[in-house]
Amino acid sequence: MSILQPPNLSRGQRFAVLLVLYLAVLAAATWVAYGLRFDFDVPSDHQRHIKEIWVWVWAVKLLALAVAGQFYSLLSFFSLPDLKRLGLALGLVTLGLFGQWYAVDAVHDMSRGVIVLDGILSFLGLAACRLGFRLVRQGTGGNGGRQVGTRVAIVGAGEVGAALARELQTKATLRPVVFFDDAQRKHGTQIHGVPVAGTVESLRDANPPEVDEVIIAMPSAPAARVREVLALLGELGLRCRTVPSMSQLAVGDIVTALRPVEIADVLGRESVDLGTETVREFLDGKTVLVTGAGGSIGSELCRQLAQLGPAKLVLVERSEFQLFEIHSEIEDIIKAVPELIDVQDTPAMAAALERHAPDVIFHAAAFKHVALMERQPAVAIRNNILATDRLAAVAAKHGVGRFILISTDKAVAPSSVMGATKALAERVLQGHALAGGDTRFITVRFGNVLGSSGSVVPIFQKQIEMGGPVTVTDEAVTRYFMSIPEAAGLVLRSAAMGEGGDRFILDMGEPIRIAELAADMIRLTGREPGTDIAIEFIGLRPGEKLHEKLHSDDEQLADTEHPKIQRITGAALTAADWQTLETPLQRGGDLDDAAARAWLCELLPEYEPASSE
């Protein structure tokens, strides 16, 4: 370490160092101010002012600096806000001293020129000392000023890229050497001394900048552009990382938040304004119960609810481990009560509602894995349909204000047992809504969520880690995707605006070809699909469709107050339909697997089951 490098000091040691430093600078500023004012021949009566008045002025300035927080800053960190606070503290004391000059005879004998010069010199002196520590820290970086470390190129010369470069310049291991940006007006300029060379495609030039790593600092860039950058960097064999989203950047510094580029970055899901205040007002003072609280969607609902501040959050989950995990994560944020209950246990659920009297229920508990449910349709019926029916009835009995069912695009023209059970669960909720009463029954339907347990993304990740092959059902198969936080946030927003019987569908954007998804995920690891890791097409499994639909042909969509949420109209359940459905629901729990499939076909004519194995 350089002898000029400020050592690691304790809080008390840092206070003592700054106290001595500040006092020395303030005293020196006063002496120099007198010297400049009197041509360094200070009259004796003015020398007396230093002993009788200025020692008190120094004390007041030190107190003002302490109030401004200047004794608690790290020595080698000095920023523009610190400079503003320093100027404000010293400026107020100087103005106060001018006020005393007009009001107090002893002070009136002082030179006003000295007061002005002292104020200027003390500010410049203290700022220079603090800036000096920072320059020593940045200049040495713990390595004597040698230019070492990984040479980093930053893609994006905006505010985020500039902040990142400034942070990197204080690190010994990372050294920004060039910016790339698509804006031509920035080309040829510099940011914090780092040149903006042009677009990232200039890395293909005959004499490209020498870099070891590239950091994408474009949190608001279109996914298509991110995909182009990744393809180029993969072609050149350069390591790549990215900054998180703008909301994540609000917490912590940028460097520590750097992460590898993820598949969500290249799938085109733009950030969404969920109308947080509207949801917060809706939840204010309420008790909220979430079933399936340990699952992918349920746990994210709990995380977001914990930040929105309902009076109490009840977590219902049948997996002990998952319940422990989510409860441990949020118990310090909100009053959260864990309930280890299977939603199929109607008496236990009724008792939980009796204990907690929830105002809102988010019903996220469901069996969702298509292949497993094809083998056990009776289990799927009991959990996805009958448990939903009985919980809805119990909710109405206990006066729950809103009951929100989480549904899926697989419920549209279902070809799988799982999709058929969710379609009937939607109808069950419409049936309970027809009964009237105080409970508003609401359904929210959306497609796949990135990274949910058992979904294609974690499966592909595991296959890639093992060296492949990555298995895709069909070269043409497509699916809709959104992130788990986005899905959960839109569910909360739907709950806040839903009325009884409302069915909502979330805007999923354009469907994604799974073969392209697999190829992108392979490239993100720095390998080439088909060369380093093979992609194999294994054919559609029973119950799977080539393309999913978000609504059926006889369902119409209407806009809502939120641009990413639409209300489903048409194809609504009638009172006669509900009456026809209620009786079979009573015997659904006694079916074996063969009878269960026939039962689904009877109640859901549009269900076209795949041949069972």
Q: Say if residue 506 is exposed, middle or buried (CB neighbours under 10 Å; 0-12, 13-18, 19+).
A: buried
Flag whether 458 is in a domain.
no
Q: Are both 325 and 442 inside the same structural domain?
A: yes
Whether the pLDDT of residue 402 is over 70: the answer is yes
Query: Angle 288-294-298 (CA atoms, 0-180°, nearest 5)?
Result: 50
In the chain, the amino acid numbered 361 is I
The dihedral of CA 144, 148, 152, 157: what is its sign?
Answer: positive
Q: What is the DSSP string of 530-561?
A: TTTB-EEE--PPTT--SS--SS-TT-EEEE-S
> 116 and 208: one domain?
no
Specify the pLDDT at position 9. Answer: 56
133 lies in the same domain as 184 = no
The answer to the question of residue 410 being in a domain is yes
Average pLDDT over residues 235-261: 60
Determine, yes or no, domain membership for 328: yes
* Domain boundaries, position 315: 276-450+481-509+549-603
pLDDT confidence bin for 337, thresholds 50/70/90: very high
Residue 253 has pLDDT above 70, yes or no: no
pLDDT at 246 over 50: no
User: What is the distance between the alpha carbons of residues 7 and 533, in angstroms, rounded to a whole number?
Assistant: 50
Q: Is residue 266 part of a domain?
A: no
User: Which position has the higher pLDDT, 75 or 580?
Assistant: 580
Is residue 486's pLDDT more than 70?
yes
- For the stretch 528-561, pLDDT in tens is 888 888 999 998 888 888 888 888 888 888 888 8
pTM > 0.85: no
Bin 456: left if φ > 0, else alpha if -120 < ψ < 50, else beta.
alpha
Band of pLDDT at residue 287, cut at 50, 70 and 90: very high
**Residue 45 near residue 52 (C-beta atoms within 8 A):** no
pLDDT tens, position by position, 95-108: 777 677 666 655 65
Greatest distance between any 2 Cα atoms in the chain = 111
Residues contacting 112, CB < 8 A, separation 6+: 98, 101
Best CA proximity match to 278, nearest among 496, 440, 505? 496
What three-state secondary structure class fits 262? coil
pLDDT at 6: 47
31 domain-assigned: yes
Instruction: Say whether pLDDT at 239 is over 60.
Output: yes
571 burial via Cβ count (<10 Å: 0-12, 13-18, 19+): middle
Q: What is the CATH number of the domain that holds 292?
A: 3.40.50.720
**Which residue, 78, 112, 140, sits at the end of a domain?**
140
The total number of structural domains that make up the chain? 3
Percent of the chain at pLDDT > 70 equals: 82
The verdict on residue 192 lying in a domain is yes
- Shared domain for 497 and 385, answered yes or no, is yes
3-state SS, residue 176: strand
Start-to-end CA distance of the chain, whole Å, equals: 70
Does one domain contain both 184 and 240? yes
Coil, strand, or helix at residue 245?
coil
For residue 395, is it within any domain?
Answer: yes
Checking phi first, is residue 381 left (phi over 0); if not, alpha (psi -120 to 50) or beta?
alpha
291 and 437 assigned to the same domain: yes
Whether residue 433 is found in the same domain as residue 284: yes
- Tell me the DSSP string of 14-42: HHHHHHHHHHHHHHHHHHHHHHHHTTT--
The winner for highest mean pLDDT among 416-425, 493-502, 514-523 is: 416-425
Q: What is the pLDDT of residues 2-45, one digit of tens each?
A: 444 445 556 667 677 778 887 888 888 878 877 777 777 777 76
Same domain for 444 and 331: yes
User: Is 420 a residue whose pLDDT tops 80?
Assistant: yes
Residues making up the chain, counted from first to last = 613
Residue 294 domain flag = yes
Out of 236, 261, 286, pick the residue that ends a domain: 261
Per the prediction, the chain carries an average pLDDT of 81
Both 286 and 254 in one domain: the answer is no
pLDDT for 417: 94
Contact, 168 vs 152, CB < 8 A? yes
pLDDT digits (tens, 9 = 90+) for 442-478: 999 988 777 666 678 888 888 988 888 999 999 999 8
Provide the 8-state DSSP code for 438. Answer: S
**Same domain flag for 406 and 496:** yes
* Tens digits of residue pLDDT in 56-74: 778 887 887 777 776 665 5
- How far is residue 429's CA from residue 432's CA, in Å, rounded to a whole number? 5
| Domain shared by 93 and 197, yes or no | no
State pLDDT tens for residues 351-396: 999 999 999 999 999 998 888 999 999 999 999 999 999 999 999 9
The mean-pLDDT minimum among 44-48, 195-199, 316-320 falls in 44-48
What CA–CA distance (Å, rounded) separates 24 from 264? 55
Same domain, 430 and 302: yes
Strand partners, 533: 529
Domain end, chosen from 226, 261, 296, is at 261
Rounded mean pLDDT, 226-236 = 81
